[in-house]
Structure 1
Amino acid sequence: MRPSALPTAMLLVGTLAKSSSITCADGLYMVVARGTGEKDGSGVTGSLAEDIADRIENSIVEPLDYPAAFSDPNYMRSERDGVETMQNLITSYHKACPDGKIAVFGYSQGGQVASDAFCGSGGIIGFSQRAALPISLVEDSVVAIIVFGDPSHVAEAPYNRGTSQKNGVFPRQNITLCEDNYTGIMRSYCDTGDTFCDLGDDGEVHRLYISNYGDDIANFVVDKYDDMMRKTTATASGTASASASASATDDSDNAAAGLAPGLALATIAPFALTILGLLL
């Protein structure tokens, strides 16, 4: 047993060390996936995340550490790396901070990364084939999923926003998981003419989502955060009330149990005395 126990123990220590390096936000933990070619950091979406952080105290903006590259590595490899990194980051955060609340933003390639992370494989060979994040994890912790100019945009998705009526460069083959589970918290912004999400010919459109929709998105995310916090508080209050009620019942049962020996003694005593009298 010893040879196999050591690697297991080492793995556990490594997992705990990784989890312990995560800082839990008292507010909202925002994961931001930048677009192709943007410098390391949160890219154009960072200003939106910072605005939301100003409205939700003690929030954290976490740029996704992935290549966001077109050719080095190639786009498909970069996208695969992004999906894996995003899923690992969100899973680790949820494990370390089970009560934490998360919002995810993805622009351009980052939008495709976020879509694959939550909706599962887009069905196109070469891109990520990883399974989607567990629905239970998302329901527990994710308040909003926001993507802009997503190349895997699908025209008929119910969570779409913007003016586009066309598919993107790499349209998803299946939107069922997100359609059935995340329509209430997910928004995919794509406008007519966008080169990547609308197969248009206007590169400028692709860069205007934050300026055009930033205020609306910020309000949406803050509202979703507030809604989840109210539900969490209500659930905690209900659990506390149920525990108090159960404790009171237990105390009552214990009190009754404490009286039982006395009652039994009172019942047995006369009979015992009668028997004792006969014997004497």
Structure 2
Amino acid sequence: MFLTLRIQHAAFLFCISAVSSTAFVYGLPAVASNRLIVERDSVAHSLSPRVDIPKALSRFPAGPLNQFLRIISTLPEGSAALDAVGKGLTPLQQSLADKVGIVTTRNDQAKNASCADVTVVFARGTTEPGNIGLVTGPPFFEALKKQLGNKSLALQGVEYPATFAGFNKNGTEGVPSMTAFINQAITSCPDTRVVVSGYSQGALVVRGTAEALPADVMSKVSSVVTFGDPRNPTAITGAEGKTLIVCHEDDAVCSGGFITVDHLTYADDADSAARFVVQKAES
């Protein structure tokens, strides 16, 4: 089954590469900011070029185009233009998912399903369909279900827009939803092992949520896994010793750059990520 999903995802990646010229993501500044609005006196600092990009990624620097995209995304007209692109990409991806039979929405918690041994709260990437997306979430869950064996698994996608403009806000739009689902899982199912995970902008949602949650709540989270994390390799608040940040060497998003093919291949890491989650759940 998982091999079939891998083949299906390969087909999807081939298709999406045709539109990769429009599916760009502008880089984040080297220092994270929780502000939703860039103030005039902080623009110069916030938009300063990244200096920690590895040599292998030097062809994807946070250069003039990156800075330009960040600037226009703070303007109503510019933000609307970027999100108009996203509105075209999302239904295209959903159509591809439908054709190959991949489910892009999971609402086990929202539907008050029975408590499971492991509960995953997942935030999808920018413009992805549903609430768990297509590129990373589904293969990760398939691998996790397989490795859990007879143990039960509950899946809940974070409800948030996942727009280009939201990426520029460091994924803060997804924090309320992820926070609510984590609290619900811990309160309603005290014996479940809670896993917090996200891909691309979803990784930023994870980080924002970890910063917002009280320490005693984060201590009850079993593991945290991010894929294509724009804040790699910065530690995630309250998740010391139980974090796995998966970033490909040539994924420029992991160093504040643009989307490359390597940002779309985290299905390849589904098995290793699932093993990490199972190990932490059993410890």
| TM-score interval for Structure 1 and Structure 2 normalised by the shorter chain | 0.5 to 0.7
| Displacement after TM superposition at 1:20 (Å) | 9.8
Tell me which residue corresponds to 2:272.
216
Give the greater-gyration-radius structure (CA): 1
Residue correspondence of structure 1 range 100-119 to structure 2 within 5 A: 100-118=192-210
Q: Which amino acid aligns with 2:275?
A: N
The CA deviation at 1:186 is: 0.6
Partner deviation per Cα, 1:85-138 (whole Å, 9 max, x = no partner): 1011111221222222111220000011101111x2xxxxxxxxxxx2122222
Among residues 232, 236, 246, which one is paired with 1:153 in the alignment? 232
Find the aligned partners of 1:39 and 1:147 in 2 and give their Cα distance: 18
Deviation at 1:139, TM superposition (A): 2.0
Q: Partners in 2 of 1:85 and 1:25 — Cα distance?
A: 19
RMSD: 2.4
What is the aligned-residue identity percentage? 28
Across the two proteins, how many residue pairs are aligned to each other?
171
> Which stretch shifts more, 44-53 or 104-113?
44-53
Q: By how many angstroms is 1:75 displaced?
A: 3.3
- Normalised to the residue count of structure 2, the TM-score between the two structures is 0.55
Q: 1:78 to 1:40 in 2, by over 3 A?
A: farther
User: TM-score by structure 1 length?
Assistant: 0.55
1:85 counterpart (177, 180, 195): 177
Q: Which has the higher contact order (CA 8 A, sep 6+)?
A: 2
Structure 1 Cα separation of the partners of residues 222 and 173 of structure 2: 24
The alpha-carbon distance between structure 1 residues 27 and 203, as it changes in their structure 2 partners (threshold 3 A), is same
Letter in 2 for 1:222: V
Residue deviations 1:166-222 (CA, integer Å, cap 9, x gap): xxxxxxxxx5x73xx4231111122233232124566011112231x2221111111
Q: More helix by proportion, 1 or 2?
A: 1
Deviations 1:58-102 (A, max 9, x none): 21111111111114xx43458222011101111122122222211
Q: Does 1:70 align with 2:164?
A: yes
Question: Which letter does structure 1 place at the counterpart of 2:142?
Answer: E
1:134 to 203, 210, 214: 214
Once residues 32 and 190 of structure 1 are traced to their aligned partners in structure 2, the CA distance between those partners, rounded to angstroms, is 17
Maintained 8 Å contact 1:67/1:78: no
Closer/same/farther in 2, CA of residues 41 and 202 from structure 1, 3 Å limit: closer
Deviation at 1:55, TM superposition (A): 3.0
The 1:20–1:206 alpha-carbon spacing in structure 2 relative to 1, beyond 3 Å, is: closer
Counterpart position of 1:192: 249
Equivalent of 1:61 in 143, 149, 155:
155
Q: Which runs of 5+ in 1 are unaligned?
A: 1-18, 121-131, 158-174, 228-280
- Pick the aligned partner of 1:33 from 123, 141, 144: 123
| Alignment-derived partner of residue 268 in structure 1 | none
Question: C-alpha separation between the residues in 2 aligned to 1:33 and 1:202?
Answer: 18
